[in-house]
Amino acid sequence: MIQNGIFYLLALIALSTAIMYTEKKSKAKLFEYLPGIVILYFTVMLFSTFGLWEKTDSVTAVYKTVKSNLLPAMIFLMLLSADMREIFKMGKKMLLTFFLASVSIALGFIGMFTLFHTAFGEESWKPFAALSGSWMGGTANMVAVQGALDLPDTAMGYTLLIDSIDYAIWVMILLALVPLAKKFNLWTKADTSLIDEVGERLAQKEKAKAPAGITSIAILLLSAALVSYLSQYFAAFLPTTSFLTTTTWVVILATFAGILFAMTPLAKFSGASSLATMMLYLIVALIASRANFSELTEAPLYIAAGFVIIAIHAIIMVFFAKLFKLDLFSLGVASLANIGGVASAPILASAYSKALIPIGVLMAMMGYIVGTFGGLMVGKVLESIAT
């Protein structure tokens, strides 16, 4: 039984490292459908259920300090790869497809919650708001929305449950649809010439990147630490409401800092994505360490709700694909760039062609930009429906 805060933190770091290492080295198909970060969450949650650590003053103090300081640093580093100038070069049709996916997912959440909100608890809009942040961006956005809305860690089990089970099945469906791309594109009368051109240009740029060095890592860590401190410092002076809390301001300030500095020479330093991923794994482990499997009493209901959201999203996407002559590749990758993020969008892109992987990555980066704000907006609508 761990009661010391430092030992508690070391245990979480060890678990995070073990799963990151296994995911990188293992060739198991499991990791294609279930990201390591989801496996980490449920592994840590299992240890928490069996009481591997106690919520002593020492453990709680370490939990609060590490999480509050890592969150804005992680958001900043994650967004350093999301250069708005590169995103705008993707072309109007691909940008339209991405935002169509984001809006249809938001409408899926609103539609589902309008129909079934009475079946859930009073504060159930918060887990769905956090999930919408994930499904319009990635796990990092989910964590950001959770922090901004002060959603208790104990309620995050439902969010991760939907995010893993429903998402895994959606990935399998989209991969199964790849052989039908030509027939679908003929039906929608889509032109795919631009996709090949953009994919080749992005692939060449990716090859030109230098590997991360010690100087690069040091500068990025210093920058992230400064952004974390300044975001928390200035957020304390900004006006708050019941929805717009100090933590929300911290998340917003760190997000804007990341978007701004992604267009500066700082973004050229390699290693930001790796550092952000390390921080994200530790944050997710911290969240999971406060949760418990015995609290997931309404799991089937939440999982069913997730499938309703995906169904609404898919119907809207197919309707507008026909209307705007969109291709199946763009639809699928845009959907996974939102729902799965950078972990899965490139996998689907590679199923079409290895040269198209960078498009999946860039679309996922767009998700990182819009996911937090999208999740907060969806949360505001869900809150109004609930009340």
pLDDT classification of 33: cutoffs 50, 70, 90:
low
The pTM score is 0.76
- % residues pLDDT > 90 (the chain): 21
Judge whether 122 and 386 are in contact, CB under 8 Å: yes
pLDDT classification of 146: cutoffs 50, 70, 90:
confident
Judge whether 365 and 81 are in contact, CB under 8 Å: yes
Can you give the pLDDT at residue 203? 58
Taking all residues of the chain, what is their mean pLDDT, rounded to a whole number? 83
Q: Which of 175, 264, 181 is nearest to 223 (CA)?
A: 264
Q: What is the rounded CA–CA span in Å between residue 348 and residue 343?
A: 10
Question: Three-state SS for 238?
Answer: coil
pLDDT classification of 202: cutoffs 50, 70, 90:
low
Of 176-185, 221-230, 237-246, 279-288, the range with the lowest mean pLDDT is 237-246
Q: Which of 317, 292, 302 is nearest to 125 (CA)?
A: 302
Per the structure, the complete domain to which residue 48 belongs is given by 5-386
- DSSP code string of 338-362: HHTGGGTHHHHHHHH-GGGHHHHHH
pLDDT digits (tens, 9 = 90+) for 252-293: 888 889 888 888 888 888 888 888 888 888 988 888 887 776
Can you give the pLDDT at residue 197? 64
Most confident segment among 11-20, 208-217, 296-305 = 11-20
Q: What is the rounded CA–CA span in Å between residue 112 and residue 129?
A: 12
Is the model more confident about 134 or about 313? 313
Can you give the pLDDT at residue 212? 64
Distances (CA, A) of 216 to 74, 211, 219, 268: 16, 9, 5, 9
- % residues pLDDT > 70 (the chain): 86
Q: What is the rounded CA–CA span in Å between residue 147 and residue 156?
A: 11
Mean pLDDT of 308-326: 92
Backbone angles phi, psi at 251, to 5 degrees: -60, -45
Total domain count, the chain:
1
Contacts of residue 40, defined as CB under 8 A and 6 or more positions apart, other chains included, come to: 15, 16, 19, 281, 284, 285, 288
Q: Is residue 209 predicted with pLDDT exceeding 60?
A: no
pLDDT classification of 301: cutoffs 50, 70, 90:
confident
Is the model more confident about 244 or about 231? 231
Q: Which of 256, 289, 243 is nearest to 48 (CA)?
A: 289
